[in-house]
Amino acid sequence: MKVVVLSDNRGADRSLENEHGLSVYLAAAFFKCLLETGASDRLIRNAEKMGIDIKAVDFVFISLGHADHLGGLPAFLELNKTAGIEI
């Protein structure tokens, strides 16, 4: 399984954008998913910089209804209209 932090408030890679929020990309043999979408569209820009295709994500899991967990959902849904969303 591949686990990649797309956005959070502490980043070691200065080429990526940070924010108060979290988004984690998980890829396994048969699925690709996001755990949270962060606070904004930064997950989209960071995913692009890391070569991750947001359009290929199958599922999004949101753990709670706080803006720093689901604020990036509108930007995600502009690019990916087929992923299942679990809140």
pLDDT at 30: 96
From the list 28, 18, 22, 31, the residue with the least C-alpha distance to 59 is: 31
pLDDT of 56-83, one tens digit each? 999 999 999 999 999 999 999 999 999 9
What pLDDT digit, counting tens, does each position of 18-57 carry?
999 999 999 999 999 999 999 999 999 999 999 999 999 9
State residue 12's pLDDT score.
75
Q: What are the distances in angstroms from CA 10 to CA 6, 20, 35, 48, 83?
A: 11, 9, 17, 19, 27
| Torsion over CA: 22, 79, 87, 70 (sign) | positive
Domain boundaries defined on the chain: 2-86
CATH topology of domain 2-86: Metallo-beta-lactamase; Chain A (3.60.15)
Say which amino acid occupies 49: K
